[in-house]
Amino acid sequence: MGIQGHDPQRIAASLAHPQTSVECMAMLDLNELSLPKLFSVLTEDGSLDRVLHAAVAEDLAQIGDVTTTSMISHSWEIKAAGVTRQDGIVAGLAAISRTLELFEAHTHLELVAKDGEPCTAGQVLWRMTGQITPILAAERTLLNLVGRLSGIATITKQYVNEIKGTSAVICETRKTTPGMRHLEKYAVRCGGGTLHRLGLYDAVLLKDNHLRHLSPSEFAPTITRAAKYARKNYKLRFVEVEVDTLNQLELVLAIESGLIDIVLLDNMAIEQLKDAVALRDKKAPYILLEASGGVDMSSVRAIAQTGVDRISVGAITHSATCMDVGLDLL
């Protein structure tokens, strides 16, 4: 038996969600959506519920919170507040209501802050009133989600601030926590970042492992065939090609217009990036250039100042430190 009032089968049944059409998702410009709309779109496929379902299972199994139910009356009503212990950017508040619902914490919830807003240490992010047993059962999941997503939003904002005054934007990558991708990409937007492809299904990115076996004479014709095939058969956000030399870049820039949207400049030095921008401006100014590879806080501004349009930074997701958020009983 679960915590009082908990029915694991009912929880599982409530996870049934109509899935968003992948094609419809691919047609949306996620970077133009408001944060509330973006959260709705990214979680319509059940991605949030899958994370929460796992959280319920690993914290409660089919037994429940044995500590709380051993010493506290389930009917005891409390007031509690989510409080940040450090400065940063808030993300993940949009997930609180559904988290409480899945843990069957039927509370009165008041969101004091908003996702994407700056916060300071000691600031109240949300308040809630309800029965203590389900609130304490949901506590760690709430704090894990808000802490993780706020940490991503905070480091993203640091990178965004570092390149202010340039024309570049900060993009994330697929270096995300398994099962958490849509939520972590939402957090990147909360921090002012720009979303890249969601997965392998919504954009073409021809990388070195796709192209390594090609001779120089095969390089452009093979890319052309792949781009035409993909555009004919799939709904795509973009078609992107990775290059690691200026010679390869020149070959891609010579491909007929309308096939390639972005060229990824992999692990190029600053002077190479400058030369790549000059070459692009001369040959195919309609193509965007994205710098990638080993980007960190010490190098990102110099990279942005070369004139590239996008900088992809894996660190904003794979190396983000969780924000310290606590739940205080009032």
Show which residues are catalytic: 140, 175, 207, 242, 266
Which residues does 191 contact at the CB level (< 8 Å), separation at least 6?
A: 89, 91, 116, 152, 153, 154, 155, 156, 157, 160, 316
Residue 106: helix, strand or coil by DSSP? Answer: coil
One-character DSSP codes across 235-279? --S-EEEEESSHHHHHHHHTSPTTS--EEEEES--HHHHHHHHHH
How are beta strands 262-266 and 288-292 bridged, if at all?
Answer: parallel
Give the strands of the sheet with 77-84, arranged side by side: 108-111, 124-131, 77-84, 325-329
In terms of Cα–Cα distance, which of 34, 295, 270, 266 is closest to 160? 295
The two most distant CA atoms of the chain are separated, in Å, by 75
Q: Where are the alpha helices (DSSP H) in 44-131?
A: 47-60, 66-71, 96-102
Closest among 26, 16, 88 to 46, alpha carbons compared = 16
The edge-to-edge listing of strands for the beta sheet with 169-171 is: 169-171, 310-312, 288-292, 262-266, 239-243, 204-206
